[in-house]
Structure 1
Amino acid sequence: MADTSSIMKLREQTGAGILECRNALDEVKGDFGKALEIIKKKGIAKAAKKEQRMTAEGRIGTYIHTNGKLGVMVELNCETDFVAKNEVFLQLLKDICMQVAATKPLAVRREDIPGHLIEEQKKIFNEEAKGKPVNILEKIISGKMDNFYKEKCLLEQSFIKDDTQTIQDLLVANIAKIGENIKINRFVRFEVGEC
């Protein structure tokens, strides 16, 4: 039988119900790490079911750095206006604004990065890998492009408050907590002196 402190800790980290947390801990005989994985997998399944739902509501969040030289606006969408006013949703929006301010992503997802930038990056990586055997050249460039996407695509970035999860993981966890589909629609980042 799972102890109360582990149940509450698991609930706090995942947003899952008490019964779901207790059952996960019981299933793995109290192993917190394994229980966390079970809850995460269930959250991913819940999020996948909600993925096709329309997200026509939401909020615009902003972040202005204390020196006044950096600002961010993010549009975070959800299914209902009720959820858009929810504390969990608003905290997620705030976290995403801070993420954009801190990490300078180029786009929300891979497909949003302009093709000419991708081609430019591939040329740079091709130059760097010049002289390598042809059979591994493609793997090198593919690996470097994956790293580029992890750095420049918001959903693939490591979350600044917890580098064990990506922004996509954070989104999925919040979809499971809230029970509605949530999408990062767009963002803009302004910094004095940058075009």
Structure 2
Amino acid sequence: MKVSANQIKKLRELTGIGIMDCKDALIKSNGNFDKAINFLRKKGENIAIQRSFLDVKEGALYSSINDDETFGVTIGLSCETDFLSKSKCFLDFLSMLSKISLRHNNKKKFLSSYYHGKKIQDLIIEKMGVVGEKIELKIFERIESPFVTNYIHNNYKIATLVGFSSHDGINSTIAKNIAMHIAAMNPIAIDEKGIPDSIIEKEKEIIFHQVEKENKPNNVKEKIILGKIRKFILDNTLINQKYIKDNKITIQEYMNKFNKNLKINIYNRITFP
């Protein structure tokens, strides 16, 4: 199979691996990026886990929280150019839509709702005429919890919402720190129970291929595999991750400093690649 220079470039940007290795991985995986990355990881390449290989589009994200801090919404607008996605005109429009989105439970209801006598969908179409690019509401994510906070990365490409079991013991700054941690560290799940079996099985397969090459007894290899799986779980579950502002403690330990009964009920981390 032939692979294009753009495919190789994209895989190289995602993984940081050399051009020839990326080309070989794409050929062996018939151009499938997910399979190509697994192929490289089985070879022992140190690649950060990526969980989304959707077509890259330009755009920006914005999240808002209601006054009672009991629910929040993240929306994402796509556009054609990076220049527009960073412009004040585009971001101001996105911010306005974000605040209106709090009145609605899903994308369909939001787009068909009215603001100052016009449908939201029609406002988006009007904006397209102003900026000269196709604009589309790609993302609408809403969460509810007794206490919800948000964080928007300064490039508007990553947004997180976090729902806590209580407001007791923590203020907005503490909650925002955890939301910021999620944006930076991209956990798979809150705890081990939340990791899908399919991800664990895939990771076991990758680790098995890595360890299989080592000239060690089988019982030693089994211990290495178990240790690597355990490390994978700790590194990728939110409450077990080392807190980015103090790597001597985990997120769970950070929360325990303020309220030992505090739990994270739900979170989402949205990216706009």
Same fold (TM over 0.5): yes
DSSP-derived class of the 1:140 partner: helix
Q: Which structure 1 residue ranges, 4+ long, deviate > 3 Å from structure 2?
A: none
**1:153 is aligned to 2:237:** yes
Amino acid at match of 1:187: Y
The runs of 5 or more residues in structure 2 that have no matched partner are 1-143
Contact 2:145/2:265, CA 8 A, preserved across alignment: no
Deviation per CA, 1:12-34, whole angstroms, max 9, x where unpaired?
xxxxxxxxxxxxxxxxxxxxxxx
Question: Quick check: which has more Rg, 1 or 2?
Answer: 2
Mapped partners of 1:98, 1:141: distance in 2: 31
Contact 2:145/2:163, CA 8 A, preserved across alignment: no
Q: Shift in Å at residue 150 of structure 1?
A: 2.1
Contact 1:61/1:93, CA 8 A, preserved across alignment: yes
Amino acid at match of 1:116: S
DSSP-derived class of the 1:128 partner: helix
Q: Shift in Å at residue 89 of structure 1?
A: 3.5
Mapped partners of 1:158, 1:169: distance in 2: 9
Deviation per CA, 1:31-61, whole angstroms, max 9, x where unpaired?
xxxxxxxxxxxxxxxxxxxxxxxxx963111
DSSP-derived class of the 1:174 partner: coil
Amino acid at match of 1:186: I
**1:112 is aligned to 2:194:** yes
Mapped partners of 2:157, 2:236: distance in 1: 21
What corresponds to 2:226 in structure 1? Answer: 142
What corresponds to 2:161 in structure 1? Answer: 73
For this pair of structures, how many residues does the alignment match? Answer: 128
The runs of 5 or more residues in structure 1 that have no matched partner are 1-55
Mapped partners of 1:139, 1:168: distance in 2: 27
What corresponds to 1:174 in structure 2? Answer: 258
Contact 1:107/1:152, CA 8 A, preserved across alignment: yes
Mapped partners of 2:210, 2:181: distance in 1: 29
TM (norm. structure 2) is 0.44
One of 123, 130, 141 as aligned partner of 2:205: 123
RMSD: 1.8
Mapped partners of 2:181, 2:201: distance in 1: 26
Contact 1:89/1:174, CA 8 A, preserved across alignment: no
More helix by share: 1
DSSP-derived class of the 1:116 partner: helix
Q: Shift in Å at residue 75 of structure 1?
A: 0.5
Deviation per CA, 1:53-103, whole angstroms, max 9, x where unpaired?
xxx96311111111111100110112xx6x3xx6x3323211110010000
Mapped partners of 1:135, 1:175: distance in 2: 42
Q: 1:19-34 residue pairs with structure 2 within 5 A?
A: none
Amino acid at match of 1:103: M
DSSP-derived class of the 2:156 partner: coil
More strand by share: 2
Amino acid at match of 1:105: P
Structure possessing the higher relative contact order (Cα contacts under 8 Å, 6 or more residues apart): 1
Q: Percent identity?
A: 33
Change (3 A) 1:154 1:130: same
Contact 2:239/2:252, CA 8 A, preserved across alignment: yes
Mapped partners of 1:189, 1:146: distance in 2: 23
